[in-house]
């Protein structure tokens, strides 16, 4: 259930931290977000989220990535289940290819394939994974971080409406 900005600004820090952690799994990001309360507006909330994300280290980014289910995982819950709804119509072959690519991606980069899946079909997610698997590690980390930033922004926008 969406909150107002005023409700997020007033709630106890522990409760706000729990909600913010559903938007981004980096502990440092959550701590920094809490330190910026009160936000006062939705724009300040989302801008703060992006600014803080850009100031984090690669280790913080990878920590956030680890909070996601794999793309196409049948156990996706919460926001991830809705975000990955494009997988609902995926063929068995597409799902199998994504499972294989997820594994290959993790072996190559050391973290799961992160992509903003909202509004994208299973075939689009598969094509993106195939393309990104060819990236050099530094480029891919920056790409994954940008995708996480998009996910976080969408989740923050849904949190406060």
Catalytic residue among 16, 25, 46, 68: 68
H-assigned helices in 58-136: 58-65, 78-83, 92-109, 122-132
Q: What is the pLDDT of residues 37-91, one digit of tens each?
A: 999 999 999 999 999 999 999 999 999 999 988 876 655 555 655 665 556 667 8
* 103 assigned to active site: no
| Angle value at C-alpha 27, between 26 and 32, nearest 5 degrees | 100
Write down the pTM of the prediction.
0.89
Number of domains in the chain: 1
Compute the distance between CA of residue 40 and CA of residue 159 in angstroms, rounded to an integer. 14
**pLDDT of 86-140, one tens digit each?**
566 678 888 889 889 999 999 999 999 999 988 888 889 999 999 999 999 999 9
Domain extent for 109: 5-159
In CATH, what number is assigned to the domain containing residue 146?
1.10.3330.10
Contacts of 24 (CB under 8 A, 6+ apart): 30, 49, 53, 64, 67, 148, 151, 152, 155
């Amino acid at each position: 259930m969406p909150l107002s900005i005023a409700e997020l600004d007033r709630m106890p820090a522990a409760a706000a931290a729990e909600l913010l952690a559903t938007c981004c799994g980096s502990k440092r990001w959550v701590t920094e977000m809490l330190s910026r309360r009160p936000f006062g507006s939705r724009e300040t909330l989302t801008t703060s989220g992006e600014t803080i994300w850009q100031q984090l280290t690669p280790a913080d980014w990878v920590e956030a990535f680890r909070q996601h289910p794999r793309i196409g995982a049948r156990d996706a819950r919460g926001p991830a289940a809705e975000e990955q709804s494009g997988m609902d119509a995926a063929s068995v072959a597409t799902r199998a290819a994504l499972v294989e690519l997820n594994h290959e991606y993790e072996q190559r980069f050391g973290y799961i394939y992160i992509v903003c899946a909202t509004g994208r079909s299973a075939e689009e997610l598969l094509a993106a994974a195939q393309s990104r698997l060819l990236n050099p590690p530094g480029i891919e980390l920056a790409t994954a971080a940008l995708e996480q930033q998009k996910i976080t922004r969408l989740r923050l926008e849904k949190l406060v409406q």
